[in-house]
Amino acid sequence: MNLDIFTKDNLLFMLKGAGFSVLLAVGAVLFGAVIGVACSAAKMSRNKFWNVIGNIYVELFRGTPMLLQILFFFLGVPVIYQRLTGTRMNTDPYVIGLLALRFYSGA
């Protein structure tokens, strides 16, 4: 077994990526909890409007695969933004991933 790939530079690169992944996951869970509390309050509401909104949100984000949601946020939202405003939207893949994870974990 060749272990030449475990150089100092490669290990630091992987450690940096692991740290960023943990940061992304923690950020998604924290903001997802806020969305989840609001959504659960809406679902338990006696107001029919908020109850329906909460149910639609949960069914939409739980009923679609995570990859489809990420692709929608990364590819679909900039197109919708451009059609509405006429200007191009610059997207950062990490921000889009964080938003998709937030909305998914909030459901």
φ and ψ at residue 48, rounded to 5 degrees: -60, -40
The letter for the amino acid at 51 is N
| Confidence band, pLDDT 50/70/90 cuts, at residue 1 | low
Rounded to an integer, the average pLDDT of 6-34 is 88
Read off the pTM: 0.70
Rounded to an integer, the average pLDDT of 33-38 is 89
Q: In this predicted model, what pLDDT tens digit does every residue of 94-106 receive, in sequence order?
A: 888 888 888 888 8
Q: In this predicted model, what pLDDT tens digit does every residue of 57-79 receive, in sequence order?
A: 888 888 888 889 889 988 898 89
Q: How many CB atoms lie within 10 A of CB 29?
A: 14
